Amino acid sequence: MSGTGTDNVEKPPVHALDTARALRDLDARGNGLSADEAAQRRERYGENRLPEPASRGPLSRFAAQFNDTLVYVLLVAGAVTALLEKWVDTGAILGIVVINAIIGVFQEGRAEHALAAIRNMLTPTATVRRDGRRTTIDAASLVPGDIVILGPGDKVPADLRLTRVRELRIDESPLTGESEPVDKITDPVAPDAALGDRRNLAFSGSLVSSGDGEGVVCATGSRTELGAMTTMLAGVEHVATPLTRQMRRFGKRLTVAIIGIAAAVFLMATVVRAWPWTDAFLAAVGLAVAAIPQGLPAIMTITLAVGIQAMARRNAVVRRMHAAETLGSVNTICSDKTGTLTRNEMTAVTLAPDGDTLNVTGTGYAPEGEFRSGEKTVAPLDDERLTDLLRACLLCNDASIEADTTGQWQLQGDPTEGALITVARKAGLDPDAEAARQPRIDAVPFASEHRYMATLHGGENDRTRVYVKGAPEQILGMCDRRVTARGVERLDREVWHERAEAIAAEGQRVLALARTTLPADQEHLDHDDVAGDLELLGLVGLIDPPREDALTAVAECQQAGIRVKMITGDHATTAAAVAKRMGIHNDDVAVLTGNDLDAMDDQRLATEVVRVDVFARVSPQHKLRLVKALQAQGQVVAMTGDGVNDAAALKRADVGVAMGRKGTEVAREAADIVLTDDNFTSIAAAVRYGRTAYDNIKRSVLFLLPTNGGEALAIIAAVIAGMQLPVTPVQILWVNMVTAATLGLSLAFEPAAREVMRRPPRPPGESMIEAALVGRIALVALTMLVGTFGLYGLLRHAGVELEVARTAAVNTLVLFEAFYLFNARLLNRPLRHWRDLGGNVAVWYSVGIVVLLQLAFTYIPPMQLLFGSAALPPLYWLVLIPLTFLVVPIVELEKYFIEKRRRRPGTGLPAGA
């Protein structure tokens, strides 16, 4: 417990104390506190509110977004274009910077929204005893020592040490991950009991499912478990995504390189060539404009946006843009169990009447399925033993299931009881008909101290029938006979205990059902009536079944080299059984519990977190620690979850994936991606789109860098040769703007490579441009240099006017890029067939647009005036097109030799795409 309501930290935790000691330590009174006492304690402990987080103002958050090297490069580019008085270009570049900053401000505010969502979980009012009277007060006024009264549907207003319970069951799934409402008790539990095992506590923010009770407030505000989660969530920082880290490194290196080369060009022009400093400065500016890939941030943003739209169509809503790419680099997925891998709908899958064990097919609450004994399908109503067992499932029950207007079956009541109704309906029993045949007269509701429920029914042969269901060990102790095909015979309890244990070993929750008869005039039912002399009808095994499509998704992720780990608040046996069915396990299905994790230091945990795939009975702190341990091992971690207990881990993970339907608002606010269908299959699809987005960004970088390199090399060559620049800075801006906005952008729409989900995730520290691609960038840049500067030099040597020669050089650069675009579409694989030229219609559209723009650049007078271009004779195009096409066979020849080398063992080169 995070707080005990006392300053003496040496005392045992409140859940380990008996009721009298807990009341005494919390200085509570049976008739409640007085108003004066409550006011004094409120001065001491503060109001029962979660603290408002400290936050920066919008302006300071906006200014902080500019603290990035790549942004500095963009601002330099904007300053250069401003010096050239090209205000449209300046506005475009600054617009990109501002848009990125706005997105960053929005994402930074998400953590505050997550904390606000937690605060909204607190109930506004509470029913308490004050001054000896029962009254309703503002929940913020609660103090340690207050006596709180709970009833069905109440939201628990603070952490309570329960002092009285009457069939009290509380849904703690958002906090602990427990898949079913918890039966509450008042007895003390072990001091080191896991959060989900502290059954004598009611946690703030949880919901009373049934029953009633009372408890003394032992923690309020930030001292509650909910408050501890808030504090933990506020202290969790997002880790930088792999792409962000790569682009930061790239931006820093590019900045240093541009400044150094521009300075060298300036010195060479002034010192070696004795140029006027203004001309030398213009050359340095031209080099900087040429080297800066102004279009790269926009292309990255649009490429991610295209991936985000594809993910949204596949039910994965991306809340943080870079998460789209990061999901593609994930190598470990930590998944919650309940509602994520499983349906969060209890289902009866095993029936064990005397002498037989049957498996039941079908999942959820739809009454559809078969009863099978081995490979044989059986008719359950043809077997009297089985019919009696199913009738008990239907009648000893307080739940109901009805089909809504859409045909979906909806449960009202307890999930376990809903599963029992469903299995009876699958057999053909009608609830209304059975209720009319044996109407209920009275009932003994389920109570945790008795561990069973009993119902009294009339209308059968002048006798009243009693049906009882509950924990096997409890029911078997109340039975001395069993119902068989031959009649009623003596019960061998040891045999039936073994049968129950065998079903439980499969990860199923086991219930036993029994019956007895009472005199016809019996109108009331109490515990003495069912204390013994029961006839055992059989056992029922229930599970929260795995999602069938999640099985396929897990297998696909594993095929893609992604390790799937289950982290759940449920019991170890249940977690191991589900993991085994899902294929998430080592050979021995090793399971570590929260207590095991507490006993490990960080070094031991670092070893175990890689070895073990199933973690059970964990707290929010454990989930966060596991994510951090995996990240410390170099793993890129995606965390899925739906509860408040998942929020901190969702925020810390490289990619947090929340469930949209059954997930809490807290989880959705803390996550990067929200699945609108709560389907693990959508994660696998999102991984595919994320990998594709990264591949397309990589294609864009591979396309843009040789272009910028070729432009920069042409300027350097002109300075070295002492010639006038082959392209002016404003012409370079035109080339960069036109090609980035058309040719480079078309790569954002490249479809997924065939092998995208058959290759392992890329290493987190891997450079976006590996050694083989660096060589290609250099090769293409040199090809552009030779073609562009060579043609420019020949034209000038032949006496062609400067404007015409420069126009030819600009068109040569652009056509080189247009042809090279077809090489860049396939990162490593050579072009083998004409079909390789298809698959992305955006490429052909972009080439057509570029051709039209270049014709306008060359022949329209206003464009000539603006950019200093001149009309080219038609004969020039007969030279330009074949010359620039040469880049295609040159690059394809390079790919051929790289692929040939890749096929040699031990080269370590990456697979093609």
User: What are the catalytic residues?
Assistant: 336
3-class secondary structure, 191? coil
Q: How many CB atoms lie within 10 A of CB 208?
A: 21
How far apart CA 351 and CA 349 sit, in angstroms, is 7
CA 591 to centroid of chain Cα atoms: 23
CA 417 to centroid of chain Cα atoms: 31
CA 784 to centroid of chain Cα atoms: 44
Helix (H) or strand (E) holding 656: strand 655-659
Cβ(671)–Cβ(732) below 8 Å: no
> Helix axis angle, 225-235 relative to 110-119, nearest 10°?
180
CA 144 to centroid of chain Cα atoms: 37
Which residue matches tokens 């498996």?
359
Task: Give CA separation, 686 vs 84, 452, 557, 693, 763, in Å.
Answer: 44, 45, 11, 10, 19
Q: Quick one: residue 770, left, alpha or beta (phi over 0 = left, psi -120 to 50 = alpha)?
A: beta
Cβ(220)–Cβ(158) below 8 Å: yes
Burial class (CB in 10 A: 0-12, 13-18, 19+), 704: buried
In sequence order, the 6+-apart residues with CB closer than 8 A to the CB of 596 are none
Q: What's 142's DSSP letter?
A: -
Closest CA to 361 of 385, 341, 337, 377: 377
How far apart CA 584 and CA 591 sit, in angstroms, is 11
Q: Which two tokens stand for residue 476?
A: 């078997």
CA 402 to centroid of chain Cα atoms: 32
In sequence order, the 6+-apart residues with CB closer than 8 A to the CB of 548 are 363
Cβ(690)–Cβ(669) below 8 Å: no
3-class secondary structure, 593? strand
Query: Is the CA virtual torsion 579, 585, 589, 593 positive or negative?
Result: negative
Cβ(218)–Cβ(4) below 8 Å: yes
First-last CA distance in the chain: 53
Q: What's 63's DSSP letter?
A: H
Strand partners for 516: 466
Exposure string for 422-445, b = 16+ CB within 10 A, e = fewer: bbbbbbebebeebeeebebbbbbe
Cβ(651)–Cβ(111) below 8 Å: yes
Cβ(292)–Cβ(704) below 8 Å: no
How far apart CA 329 and CA 324 sit, in angstroms, is 10
Q: Which amino acid does the sequence have at 536?
A: L
